[in-house]
Structure 1
Amino acid sequence: MLQRIRVAALAIALGAGALVLVPTAATAAADPVITRVEINPGPPVDVTNGAVTATFSFATKGADKAELQLKPPGDISVGKPVDLTSAKNGDWTKWTGTKSFDSSSTGTWSWLAIAGGASRGGTFEVVAKKVLDTKIVDFDAGPDFVDRGDLVKVSGRLLADGKGYGAQSVAITFRARGADAYREITKVTTGADGSFSATVRARETGWWRAEFAATSGAKGSVSDADRVDVRRGDRSSRIAGFDARPEPVDKGDRLTFTGALQVEGRDGVAGERVSIFFRAGGSQRWEYVTSDVTGRDGRFWASATAQTSGWWRAEYSGTRGVRGSVSGADWVEVTQPAPAPAKADTRLIKFNAYPEPVKRGKYVKVAGKLQIDDEGSWAGYSGKVALYFKRAGSHKWEYVKTTRSSESGRLYTKVKAWNSGSWRFVFAGDEDAYGDTSRSDYVRVKR
């Protein structure tokens, strides 16, 4: 009413002909509304384990059409559109599209949602984590023979990309003889250097191994299997191939004693002590001289100085579940050595074992040079030289083979490598020259 009065008054004041009615301006159409784009899964989109299809979705209000563009990392061009499907819900429309990503798609991507005159953008990451290669090495379960219910120690080392992999869970599994599958017995956690060990109780004969399950950052791996025999009663043993040599031998020279300990059902038994006894000619008393612990194949090696002629034999006292045994006796005649002629000093130089590391089963090449003291100067010398090997963790040097140096003293041979350890040449000397031992050279064997 008041407004009409004001208009009428204005019309009277301006005159009837001067009144102009101006219509109210229509309200301008509002810009479309766009929600933020949702990405599932992620972000970041993880393609570590293979290609991933991500779903992109957003909603608009006040627009009948919409577009979603994706731009790869480092691309400065306009993004590529994604095929969208729509679903109406009242005044809102939901838009959905998919895109597949793989390991070649890593980096920061850009997205841009467009509806009418409005747009909204953002970024997301596509990532691929480094997956480590793992390997379980040096796995061992022992001792190899136990009585039912005895404890067995299992140990090994978990490596990731060749280095110790610490703070990881490793399963100790067992497969009984005659069974088809391994079953988990216990779990252990690796130390800082990847090493692990556990004590388990042996109930039946079978194979033990360690298993590392794959994680998001590392591949899985399984160790070699190691058999442990569970004994039900005492087994017989025997010492095979016992030999004392050389025969005859000069007084004061070294005798070596070799053989193998065998237990019923197995060719060789490791970790058992074998003693060497001597009985002089004309005596009835056997006397202890030295001993050695058998290696993985049951073999033993010992030495002693020859003093007088007599009989030598090896004795095994047995252990729980295994009866002891005695080898046959071996007669060695000891002779008085002839006066030693003047000898010259020798030296083994430039010793090298290579390549390092070497793949298991491939050849290790060993080179060096044998020289003799020739009136104050060193010259090449031709002689028989023995190659010895000492496994990693062992204190015993084992004979491998004999080779001969050339007239210039050059030495070269090769052997297949099965275990990591140290190599060296030994020249025992001859009637003209004293012996010498080269430096040792360690070679790591990788699987």
Structure 2
Amino acid sequence: MSNEIAGAQTPQVQGKFLGIVVCFILGNGSLFAWNSMLTIEDYYVALFPDYHPTRVLTLVYQPFAFAITCIMAYYEAKMNTRRRNLAGFSLFFIGSFALIILDIATKGRGGLGVFVGVCIISAIFGTADANCQGALVGDLSLMCPEFIQSFLSGLAASGALTSALRLITKAAFENSKDGLRIGAILFFSVTCLFELLCLLLYKFVFPKLPIVKYYRSKAAAEGSKTVASDLAAAGLGTEQHGQAEEDPQICKRLSTKELLVENVDYAFDIYLIYVLTLSIFPGFLSEDTGSHSLGTWYALVLIAMYNVWDLIGRYLPLIPCITLTSRKGMTCAILARFLFIPAFYFTAKYGDQGYMILLTSLLGLSNGYLTVCVLVEAPRGYKGPEQNALGNVLVVCLLGGIFSGVVLDWLWLIGKGW
């Protein structure tokens, strides 16, 4: 009897480690192209000195990411999750390749026309993000918590990895002719290959893992319509799904509005995390921290420190004794982060680069830690279709916070002249 029970539990653990690794890589890929664009900000600042590229590109990216995610979250129950993710990674690959072609075709010249082209590609990245991030967070929310944690860590790792690559390429080509440009082209060549890897992993590897098939079959049995395409790709039938559709008791689920009402504090929390973070990172760190002994390396070091500590913060919830599970505790911690605003203002005005690096590290650490705490805790206790829907809703709030933060970031320019 015990052997039968152990055998029945096998699909829940078979392929789990590989699944965690793939989720980490997919998290990387969901932001790798966009972080690449942000991380070569020194090249774009040199190429478009009059257009505030670090702020404008983010401002172009976010409305597309936010608006399309809102639409997809509204129709989440009827959306084909597999097609969303494949479309997203394809757009990331195409956009990265287009940046290389644009730079080669214009021979690294600046100007308004080229900047508009870069902005269009930024909008493509926003569209890709809307497809991937909401779909993956929703999909992984109905699986084991380790998957969503690994995916969120991958999101942060993309920033750390792109920062590390940028520092390497800058050091390698700094003294060569057109060093910034060569480094940027090499950077996006790596990005193209990485996005292609993510596309292939999601299409051919992830859906065939036993643990993934187990959770998706379970979600289908609970009435989920979003996993049918993934189950078909894994070679499974949808008989359970058909049975679920015939059973109104199984199909009964909370509406998106009801889920939002029940989790309004989590939605508010994730929104506030990113309002604060994006009102400082990357625009303020890139343009408003003054001149220091690190020279042109200063902004890159700050962005790298943020990304590294953001990644570290996303692994801290794996330690049970320091995991924040209290809903009120999360809200209090998130509200306390707004003390970063006066701290950054006075440090930029009166402090030296050491204090600014410390503050930036704390900003990243708290951002990563609190993001994982919220997105792991919120879906607990719901059925698969509800977890998917709630994951999509929370990503809408996350992107809404990013968009609001990007707009508020412009307030740092008041009194400085544009």
Task: Give the structure-2-normalised TM-score.
Answer: 0.20
- Structure (1 or 2) with the greater helix fraction: 2
Return the structure number with greater relative CO, CA threshold 8 A, min gap 6: 2
- Structure (1 or 2) with the greater strand fraction: 1
Computing the radius of gyration from Cα coordinates, the structure with the larger value is 1
